[in-house]
A and B are shown apart, each in its own frame.
Chain A
Amino acid sequence: MAKRKQNNIQDFLQELESRIEKMDMIPRETNVGKVLSIGDGIVNASGLSRAGFGEEVEFEDKTRGLVFNLDEDRVSIILLKESDSLFEGMRVKTTGKTLGINVSDKLLGRVINSLGEPLDGKPLKSEGKFYLLEKIAPGVIERQPVDTPLKTGIKAIDSMTPIGRGQRELIIGDRNTGKTAIAIDTIINQKKKDLSLPQVICIYVGIGQKRGNIARTVTKLEEEDALAFSIVVAATASDSPAQQFLAPFAATAIAEYFMDQGKDVFIVYDDLSKHAWAYRQISLLLRRPAGREAYPGDIFYLHSRLLERSARMSKEEGGGSITSFPIIETQAGDVAAYIPTNVISITDGQIYLETDLFNAGTRPAINAGLSVSRVGGAAQTGIMKQVSGPLRLELAQFRSLAAFVQFGSDLDEQTKKQLERGRRVAEILKQPQFAPQDEAQEVVSLFAASKGLLDDLSIQKISAFEAKVHEFIRVKNKKLWARISSREKMDDKTIKELTSEIENFKKTIK
């Protein structure tokens, strides 16, 4: 015990010695200023003539701030933390540092704020590498096209709007339509390492949310053993707008640390509407000119520069990736509002969730017609493409027919068949929360519905069918299950075999 203590002291002294040796003792110039006014988390200061935009400043009471406006004879600073000890005339000095965060593997499993400080009550040493919060997104040469799937475990998404590693897919919808649920399910699904793909590191950024909601998310991730490969960055509604504004940038900096190591990262920005509100609040307090819906003129650039940092890097750059799910909350289904249209145009597709579908019991309440994935198709496996090809069309036809049928009852046989098939496809796409499926399970379910194998089964029995059919085939025909899990397109023999297994199983539940 005593020897270990002695070793620790020796290590500490050695570290101290090496740090002192490396020190740059040339005196530095410090640029100072004086606080002119304070209010709403904004400080105006005179002096600081050499302060740079985005530079960190320090007040006499050690409060930190960020230079956000440079005027001719004054600068405006946003406070990174609330402070009661600031007063007019207090000295403030530049630090020469741009805002950044210390990142290391030790952040995994932790809940932190925008400044990298722990919020989960456990100690966190600030060690590792220093990553800047603001960074220019990777260039064209450094990237490679999206070609590897990121499985969400949600049938409706993996089949109709597939996601690739490095993609930015917007989740959009009104309040209480299951936006966060999709994101959390996707995080939970990453523990499966489906299709033998490398582990994905997940980062959940809560912006302007209730503390209770963040706590619930953390507990759920912990329960599902998903926290070990996840990081939660939280800037709740009670935190300052500056912290809310910085949270997604801090999370992206952490993601870049892992991406630079060649790892795949998945980020959820929950949600960017509140992020835009926080930025609008800061901008209005700084007296920047207000534009449409009172947002500042650079609100598009704010989100585009953030989401451009999600990328799939080339092999020469390590081959890592950042996949992002920005979330946008619409008001009364208005997707044509300012922020939704901005983010729709920035991202590589969107998953549109509808209140009516949600209330009708379709969960996830994905509107197949308005949801799209622009690049994910390239990342979809051959087998998934094979079974999901006709699905989207069938579902769209069913929705339009269902709306039309409300006005009349005389239907021809073909239309009736189409309606029945559509109902079954819609039913099979329903999935409970926190129950992501692996690809083989998804393939079996979708195959059964799209091939019409469920047409003779009553809709009430479909969930019971799905609950047991996977286990039935997996146990009874291991070779077939292995072939389905192999990503490859099914040949005629496999199709026949799978059809007969499904038919056999149906007999047991009829």
Chain B
Amino acid sequence: MNNDLSRLNRDLIKKLARLTIRNGNVDKRIAKYVLLRLSRKELIFYLSALKGAIYKNSVRAISSQELPPKTEQSISTKFKDRLVFFEQDQSQSEGIKIIIDDTIIDLTVNGYVNTMLEQLKT
């Protein structure tokens, strides 16, 4: 079995990473099975693919203060096919930053100011 796993190509490792996520959570049984059998090189690739798979199915809404339940509800409805995590970051300016996979929608005051500055410069 160990030999079989070592022969897995990138596509199969990616598939394995996708399978590890079940209902938004890491399936510990599969993860343990994989961790014991993959080589170091394959494991690095597996972990990065796992990270990608987690991000792909989730949305992070980051705000400086706790969001009102109504806003949280509205964001969850907007991304109903994904798992939404609400996080707080005190260093962030007023507003919300939404991170979907590798895309960021910056709705913070800082974000607006930066957009304005960039447009002024061009």
Contact = CB atoms under 8 A, between A and B. Distances in A.
A23 B119 contact: yes
Contacts of B79: none
A30 B116 contact: no
Summarize B's interface: helix, strand, loop or mixed: helix
Contact of A46 (B48, B105, B116, B120): B48
Contacts of B104: 29-32, 93
Interface string B98-122: 0001111111000110011001100
B101 A27 contact: no
Contacts of A32: 102-104
Interface in A25-44: 25, 27-33
Contacts, number: 44
B116 A27 contact: no
A25 B115 contact: yes
Contact of B112 (A20, A27, A31, A46): A27
Contacts of A49: 101-103
A495 to B, nearest CB: 63
A31 B106 contact: no
Contact of A29 (B103, B112, B119, B120): B103
Contacts of B120: 16, 19-20
A73 interface: yes
Contacts of A33: 102
A20 to B, nearest CB: 8
A52 interface: no
A333 interface: no
Interface in A338-380: none
A30 B106 contact: yes
Interface residues of B, number: 16
Nearest to B106: A27
B119 A27 contact: no
Interface residues of A, number: 20
A31 B103 CA distance: 4
Contact of B102 (A20, A28, A47): A47
A25 B102 contact: no
A24 interface: yes
B119 A31 contact: no
B103 A27 contact: no
Interface string A63-99: 0000000000100000000000000000001000000
Contacts of B111: 27
B47 to A, nearest CB: 12
Nearest to A26: B115
B101 A24 contact: no
A30 B103 contact: yes
A393 B80 CA distance: 82
A501 to B, nearest CB: 63
Contacts of A50: 102-103
A93 B114 CA distance: 14
Nearest to A28: B115
Interface string B8-46: 000000000000000000000000000000000000000
A48 interface: yes
Interface in A5-31: 16, 19-20, 23-25, 27-31
Nearest to A72: B10
B107 A48 contact: no
A47 B120 CA distance: 28
Contacts of B48: 46, 73
B18 to A, nearest CB: 13
Interface of A: 16, 19-20, 23-25, 27-33, 46-50, 73, 93
Give the 9 A-B CB pairs with smallest separation, nearest first.
A47-B102, A30-B104, A29-B103, A31-B103, A23-B119, A49-B102, A32-B102, A29-B105, A27-B107
10 contacts: A16-B120, A25-B116, A27-B115, A28-B115, A29-B105, A30-B104, A31-B102, A31-B104, A32-B104, A49-B103
Interface of B: 48-49, 52, 101-107, 111-112, 115-116, 119-120
